[in-house]
Structure 1
């Protein structure tokens, strides 16, 4: 550039000489000499190149359909990730895991002193709104309360069933929630609020209304595109978010298999990966050395095998105990985890998950053998009136034949169910695996009243592989998982049963006392869990967990406080320019 300029200026003296000679041959006055100015080009019609968007690419196991974080059917890493990015919550875990008020959403949330009934007043920030411009308001609280207290298959209904009324004040920005009795765990309620103005009149029911994503966002990101066939979800910054804007323009969730996860991190195609790596994949990640950082991220769910008392085949406690004696628990854990991080979080309690504060094993010593115990199986089934004939156990001429259900959407659940069926067959107990959709299993089949006409029929599920939610109020978790359902005060109809179909009227006062704070959770759970182990209601296996592998290309990524997970910090993630701007 500098040399070009010098050549242009050097031509000026020659131009002056030529012009003088021409002028001397004519009568016209010599032209006025103008000093050359900077060269200007013609106006350009092309627009300046726009900078490429900053994106973070996240490798995940799979992207399952169904995004309702409040249902057992949709309790998955995908729904947890999207909820953390898009759904507002009153309280979120702080650095120590304890719940703290989300001041991006809330002005305050506090118990009203001297109220006639236990009442909590919530004040929502005026500017808090959904991505379509509608305010986040009392109607969103009402909608969540109405659904979670009465719908079958929800993840943690007990606290919502204590609510008598949700009242709107000051244009919907103040919400008074009145409870029938004191509830010490009230801060765990109203997380992952949903846009009531869009969902209340939706043509599909609660179980499927969020199968295709969220119609609006109340967080730093919003859904741009969902392509489950391709295995990709693209999220972009929510420009209507009233809080601090996200650092990156978009986040791409990309489902790839475990081998490709490692290669994508090595090549830079993924900034981070969050997946259920098996033991071999963990070793491959470690081989990348300083190129990636690794950490284990526990998920808010414990895998367990439920044994239904309402089943005709399992109505006898001795038969349920025989089934447990026939199972190879370590092999079931291996089938579900593949030797990944969940294997290190084996569960030996009926309420709390291994990584939860206050967890201690409650499993009675020697109650369950680590490996199948054929002698115990034979003794218990014989006492229950069965005889071993031709390799099968028969009673009144009918074989002991169990139906084990696992949700169709979750491969790990199905692997556990198939392993259990094989182990039972090896002990002469016939077993069949069925794979209904999660909505069918948790919203219909397992929610049936055990005392209804439908219970105990040939179509009833005998056993089920299911998640037990974790991370909420412990007493509410115990009540949701094993408490009697009660009656809807409006319709006077029985509320849906828990997934275990368990209800013990003698234990219910203890569960209620823990829920209201009149009895400590530790004292109540000791009483409740001893009965659950004795009656062989559920076999805890392990807490779900994932590996977070982080490359050096992205900054601001953290594991997340409590069970919030890495996506709770996504607004601070800073990635790299995208290779293209197409979606």
Structure 2
């Protein structure tokens, strides 16, 4: 489920929370977006029930899907690895894993996990004192394609590989696995008992996907063996081959699968540039593709094509780098945040697509999920007057001289890319220095260009000068966002069914390293507090779901107050597909049923 237009940006599929890397805001997504037509306020307050969510999928009963055929699904590139727990795993890695490997839990449209009965009869917390114990009762029919039953040995090998105790395993994250004390067979071969050293609320996130012990049993197999092939699988599809020259990953029906057989003969992930996808769909060389919003009209005009569009299970944000410069002052960050009309930005991006034009009020929970509430009141409503007062309190005074609006076009260059300067009519200064912020955006993105320009003009109204630098998309994230080479930036994060686990690295307080640098995990704004860390840690250890939601809500309010990340809106997902395609489209949190995908009879 490739959700990214930027090759450096990765979205884990709902079942593969192995690595969470920021998404480029420009992406118009493929089959993986929940239609959350949820009314949400732009102020602080009410909780929205998950019952309002849905999906925008070309749903067809299995009886109406013909047997056979090849579905060609556009991706941005060939996955760099088929091991979803490696740092260079991407969204296509997760798609392959979802179609070929066990997952103990599936997510519904609201991001709520349910036991996947193809693999799991049930799983429960069977002990709390002296330690938390989770017992998995496996489906006795679950077998790997080599004939061996899925069992405790696979669970134990994956735990050992991902626990973080052995650095020879090149893992991207160890969240949850590092809390496990032991894995053992239970009452019989179908029972697996997992004992935790400390309580872990998000235990359902573990062992999804589950790799065979032949992959996770040794560092060599884990690091290299599963990069380009998966000889042993246990899903409706198997990996036939990865062809980097042709840009394809070919999945075929798995003859060893015990569940409902895959309708398709083949599912082929095909690397196709976004600019060429509409013509490829029209020509019949693609069946399913995420497209940019600008291509929507062309697809609608093309006979035999349909569009599925929805707010995605991901959100766009403005990141404020608080590690140095003017934005190290929380008052300045608050001023910048309160100068931005988030409602106007959401309307500009979403209304033309016919999607709910509402700003997002939560960093950790999306409107389709239980526990969603708008906590933006912890920051304060948009107000130019209040923003100017905050700047004045921080020592930034408005100049009496009028500078006049200026905009340097793309002909002007900066050291790292094309530069556009938005000057305020009356600048704010401190000790004779004008308040100027570097706004870094990826090049060739109409959406980012529009949103970034709007934000710069809003900031000019409070006297802030903005230098918008557009850089090559391939280097945008690694060389600028991760490196901290920005004051302002736009990128996105995927939503999560397990926010206390998945969001902790994103909002954790940076830790000074011995050399004086900051260890930031995935908190690229470099803004964090001890209180946020403590609340998320408590939420991750709280086995009472209601209490965990309360702690998560408190953490979100504190994240708003820190003003390092300003959510703007849920990203739009625009998916084009041939009208004959069945059971594909915009899924969002919902785990796709790959065995039901195919073509209408």
TM-score (norm 2): 0.64
Counterpart among 533, 540, 563 of residue 589 in structure 2? 563
User: Would the aligned equivalents of 2:139 and 2:190 in 1 still touch at CA under 8 Å?
Assistant: yes
Alignment of 1:545-564 (within 5 A): 545-555=572-582, 557-558=583-584, 563-564=589-590
Name the structure 2 match of 1:250.
266
2 CA distance for matches of 1:307 and 1:535? 10
Asked if the contact 1:402/1:462 (under 8 Å) is kept, the reply is yes
Please say if residues 57 and 269 of structure 1, whose CA atoms lie closer than 8 Å, have aligned partners that are also in contact: no
| Alignment of structure 1 residues 13-162 onto 2, 5 Å | 54-60=68-74, 62-63=76-77, 65-66=79-80, 76=91, 78-93=92-107, 98-113=112-127, 116-125=130-139, 128=142, 136=150, 137-143=154-160, 145-146=162-163, 159-160=176-177
Distance 1:63 1:300, change over 3 A: farther
Distance 2:486 2:324 in 1: 7
Cross-structure match for 2:24: none
Partner of 1:322: 335
Residue 482 in 1 paired to residue 481 in 2?
no
Per the alignment, do residues 159 and 202 of structure 1 end up closer, same or farther by CA in structure 2, a change over 3 Å counting?
closer
1:302 equivalent in alignment to 2:329: no
Distance 2:359 2:249 in 1: 32
Say if 2:250 and 2:266, in contact at 8 Å, map to a contact too: yes
Which residue pairs with 1:527 in the alignment? 554
- The secondary structure found in structure 2 opposite 1:310 is coil
Closer, same or farther: CA 535–100 of 1 in aligned 2, 3 Å: closer
Distance (whole Å) between structure 1 residues aligned to residue 486 and residue 337 of structure 2: 16
Which residue, out of 282, 287, 290, partners 1:275? 290
Q: What is the match of residue 233 of structure 1?
A: 249
Task: State the partner residue of 1:383.
Answer: 393
Structure 2 SS opposite 1:534: helix
Q: Distance in 2 between matches of 1:546 and 1:345?
A: 15
Counterpart secondary structure, 2:317? strand
SS at match of 1:546: strand
TM-superposed deviation, 1:539: 0.9
Find out whether 1:428 has 2:465 as its counterpart.
Answer: yes
Higher fraction of strand? 2
Q: Which of these residues, 538, 543, 557, is aligned with residue 570 of structure 2?
A: 543
Q: Which has the larger radius of gyration?
A: 1
Q: Is the 8 A contact 2:74 2:286 kept in 1?
A: no
Where 2:563 maps in the other structure, the secondary structure is coil
Q: Cα offset for 1:120?
A: 0.6
C-alpha distance in structure 1 between counterparts of 2:292 and 2:474, whole Å: 26
Q: Give the corresponding residue for 2:39.
A: none
**Alpha-carbon spacing, 1:165–1:251, altered in 2? closer, same or farther (3 Å):** same
Matched residues in 2 for 1:148 and 1:94: separation? 33
What per-residue deviation string (whole Å, max 9, x for no partner) do you get for residues 133-154 of structure 1? 7765124531564269999996
Q: Does 1:179 align with 2:196?
A: yes
Which residue in 1 is equivalent to 2:185? 169
| Separation in structure 1 between the aligned mates of residue 449 and residue 85 of structure 2, nearest angstrom | 24
CA deviation string 1:311-334 (max 9, x = no partner): 444221122123324556468668
**What secondary structure sits across from 1:85 in the alignment?**
helix
Q: Is the 8 A contact 2:507 2:527 kept in 1?
A: yes
Cα distance in 1 for partners of 2:439, 2:84 equals 25
Q: 1:334 to 1:211 in 2, by over 3 A?
A: farther
Aligned mates of 1:211, 1:336 — CA distance in 2: 38
1:191 to 208, 221, 224: 208
- Alignment root-mean-square deviation, CA: 5.0
* Larger RCO, structures 1/2 (Cα 8 Å, 6+ apart): 2
Assess, with a 3 A threshold, how the Cα gap between structure 1 residues 204 and 128 changes in structure 2: closer, same or farther. closer
1:248-287 C-alpha deviation (Å, 9 max, x unpaired):
211123354667655555554444x241441x54344444
SS at match of 2:531: coil
Q: Which position in structure 2 is the counterpart of 1:221?
A: 237
In structure 2, relative to structure 1, the CA distance for the partners of 1:219 and 1:407 (3 Å cut) is: farther
Change (3 A) 1:120 1:474: same
